[in-house]
Amino acid sequence: MFENNLSFARNLDQKDPLKEYRHKFHIPRHEGKEAIYFCGNSLGLQPISVRESIDKELLRWQQLAVEGHFMGETPWLHYHKQFKGPVSRLVGALPEEVVVMNNLTVNLHLMLVSFYQPEGKRFKIITEKGAFPSDQYALESQVKFHGYKPEEAIIELQPREGECNLRTEDILQTIQTHAGELALVMMGGLNYYTGQVFDMQAITQAAHQAGAYAGFDLAHAAGNVLLQLHDWQVDFAVWCTYKYLNSSPGGVAGAFIHSNHAYSANLPRFAGWWDIMNKSVF
């Protein structure tokens, strides 16, 4: 039974199986005391181990220079391969379905090159109203790039009057209603403003039944909630790593493409160096 008092909260802290992880991070101080930090959605705390890790790479650079790309404990050229295992576990994916690269919005645009392919009547995108602004800007610019007006192409989901969260049945009904003109469902896996976690599996299934792709921005979900992108059959996802994954300001972002699409020659894409190196989407 929940109790609204300090002793009850402290008792919960003592029982928390993750409580020891607090000691692995630097806690900011305010007026000589450790601050109560509620800004993990904007920047995670610095892990105590970061300085040692960075110093190791600086030493490799100092000693090896360009050879650091190919030599040493963790050669830089294939850094993305080193992260495939742990990153895939974070988002519930196969190792070959994930990569660490770029920043979130760049990755989102790269995914939209492949997964937003409007044609004829099928040109609309469903997203949630109040999505993170960078997602809104990306979707609007992609729609305009293809010659459509955002107010005609983008369908924004909003809660019922007097409610704060979207009902899953309303999301699924909207997908079904627009099935004949829908190209993509693209929304946050967790709404940054309300904290609502969306039923990504049900949304993906409904999008596929409507003949559309489904993708998610996991900036506020990766490292925060349980994800099973592969099993949910999500087509693509993107996320940053500086929030709940505590990487750093400007930390390199991540991307996921389901193995159903990884080697598809039918999906358009913007190719580069890694395509030659890896002979894959990444």
Residues 41 and 157 in one domain: no
- The answer to whether the beta carbons of residues 92 and 229 sit under 8 Å apart is yes
Among candidate residues 14, 47, 77, the one where a domain is terminated: 77
- The reported pTM is 0.91
Q: What share of the chain is helix, strand, coil (3-state, %, to 5)?
A: 40, 15, 45
If you search the block for the tokens 């009547």, which residue do you land on? 121
**Count of CB atoms within 10 A of residue 245's CB?**
20
**Does residue 73 sit in the same domain as residue 142?**
no
Please report the pLDDT score of residue 274 as a whole number. Answer: 61
Final residue in a domain of this structure, among 77, 94, 111: 77
CA neighbor of 144 nearest in space, from 135, 136, 153: 153
Considering the domain architecture, whether residues 143 and 195 belong to the same structural domain is answered as yes
Q: What is the mean pLDDT of the segment spanning 203-230? A: 97
15 shares its domain with 129: no
Contact 19, 29 (CB under 8 A): no
pLDDT at 72: 87
Give the pLDDT confidence score for residue 280 in this predicted structure: 45
The string of pLDDT tens digits covering residues 80-91 is: 888 999 999 999
Phi then psi for 157, rounded to 5 degrees? -80, 135
Question: Considering its fold, how many domains does the chain have in total?
Answer: 2
Domain boundary at 21, 52, 77, which?
Answer: 77
Shared domain for 127 and 98, answered yes or no, is: yes
> Rounded mean pLDDT of 160-171?
96
The CATH number of the domain holding residue 113 is: 3.40.640.10
User: How many CA atoms are closer than 13 Å to the CA of 71, on its beta-carbon side?
Assistant: 10
Same domain, 39 and 53: yes
**N residues, the chain:** 282
Range of 53's domain? Answer: 1-77
Same domain, 250 and 262: yes
What's the CA gap between 171 and 158, in Å, rounded? 9
Mark whether 230 and 269 lie in a shared domain: yes
**How confident is the prediction for the chain on average, in pLDDT?**
93
Distances (CA, A) of 20 to 13, 14, 57: 10, 10, 27
